[in-house]
Amino acid sequence: MAHGLIVFLLIGVIVYFAVALALVAWPFPESVENHGHAADELAKLVASGTFVEPAEPSFFEARDGARRLYRLYPGSGADLLIFLHGSGGDSRYLARLANALARLPDGPTVATPDMRGHGPEPVRRGDVDHMHQQEQDIADLYAALKRIRHFDRFLLGGHSSGGGMALRYAAGHEQPRPDGLMLVAPFIHRKSPAACPDSGGWATPCVPRFAGIEMLGRFGIRLFENRPVLRFAVPPEARDGNETPLYSWRMYKSMTLSDNWRKEIAGIQAPVLVVAAGKDVIFRSDGYKAVFKNLPRASVEILPGIDHFQLSTSDEALKRMEAWLRENRQN
């Protein structure tokens, strides 16, 4: 009887791992055939000529010794804003927004890093060493800038998945804690009220591989967490060799809140501004109100008539951010 039970359990374990490995090996399409609405909107924004020349690259040394790239836009005010780019690209497209914020009366000094795995110096494109490395890089960048100049407040923000990364940092354990969050169409979680089923065609997951890696992870097996699991439909107009169209499993996890995202957001003490796009096809802007409804210091503003990518160059978005900065500077 006992021998039969052991054999049954052993067969179950073998089948479990065989299924997990088969899912990990599941083929991922070489490219996205149908780019969808989101990619079309990004292509139109690139063609519009609304981007400006970014600041020259600067570098800081992260705690693992890696040389990390950022761009600095000095402001006349006493605040520092670290603002993070979205998936697929790097910090260059944020230049117009960063410049405009820094040039406001008492505007913050704005730093826009290329997140690990992105840009011209990615270390490893589309991958990180572990799930907390992006948070560590943010803290290390703050420490490097603090050695150059004193700042009264540390603000953190981001666009799209960069906004999700800002939330992850604010909900995590790295220091310092941000004194405020400025989020532009942030990614929350794939099961949040702000999620769209197909992300407007922008992000294509390899669902079987996701499942297989997570099945193995339950037993502490991390061997395949560097495998690509997410593909972005970066259009040809936005490609110059520095794009990052693929994310590994641990890259994706390093930039997002956990499955316990509701509790993580509920624990954020800093004031939060969320600026969303009325025509966003990647996220459901109306869902942000439900996501942040229990945060008394959170403000959600939805701008009609513009899409997800236009937010990064929108004058109206800048006005809302300026008003929020002014209001919170007085409080």
DSSP-derived secondary structure for 41-69: HHHHHHHHT---PPPPEEEEE-TTS-EEE
Q: Of 257, 253, 277, give the one whose Cα is nearest residue 268.
A: 257
User: What's the CA gap between 193 and 325, in Å, rounded?
Assistant: 27
Give the phi and the psi of residue 19 in degrees, each rounded to 5.
Answer: -65, -45
User: What's the CA gap between 243 and 39, in Å, rounded?
Assistant: 13
User: What's the CA gap between 278 and 262, in Å, rounded?
Assistant: 23
Give pLDDT tens digits along the chain (331 positions): 566 667 667 887 788 888 888 889 888 876 655 567 888 888 888 888 788 999 999 999 999 999 999 999 999 999 999 999 999 999 999 999 999 999 999 999 999 999 999 999 999 999 999 999 999 999 999 999 999 999 999 999 999 999 999 999 999 999 999 999 999 999 999 999 999 987 888 999 999 999 999 999 999 999 999 999 999 999 998 899 999 999 999 999 999 999 999 999 999 999 999 999 999 999 999 999 999 999 999 999 999 999 999 999 999 999 999 999 999 876 5
Give the phi and the psi of residue 99 in degrees, each rounded to 5.
Answer: -60, -45
Q: Are 136 and 174 in contact (CB under 8 A)?
A: yes
Cβ atoms < 10 Å from Cβ of 322: 15
The helix (H) or strand (E) run that includes residue 231 is: strand 228-232
Supply angle C-alpha 305, 307, 308, rounded to 5. Answer: 150
Q: Are 280 and 264 in contact (CB under 8 A)?
A: no
Beta bridge partners of 278: none
Q: Are 71 and 116 in contact (CB under 8 A)?
A: no
Token code pair at residue 188: 């929350």
User: What's the CA gap between 146 and 317, in Å, rounded?
Assistant: 28
Backbone Cα Rg of the chain: 21
CATH number of the domain that residue 65 is part of: 3.40.50.1820
Token code pair at residue 194: 């702000």
Considering its fold, how many domains does the chain have in total?
1
- Look up the pTM and report it: 0.94
Cβ atoms < 10 Å from Cβ of 150: 8
Give the domain extent around 16. Answer: 2-330
Residue 147: the pLDDT is 94
User: What's the CA gap between 198 and 207, in Å, rounded?
Assistant: 12
Distance from the first to the final alpha carbon of the chain:
71
One-character DSSP codes across 122-153 = -SSTT--SSTTHHHHHHHHHHHHHHHHS--SE
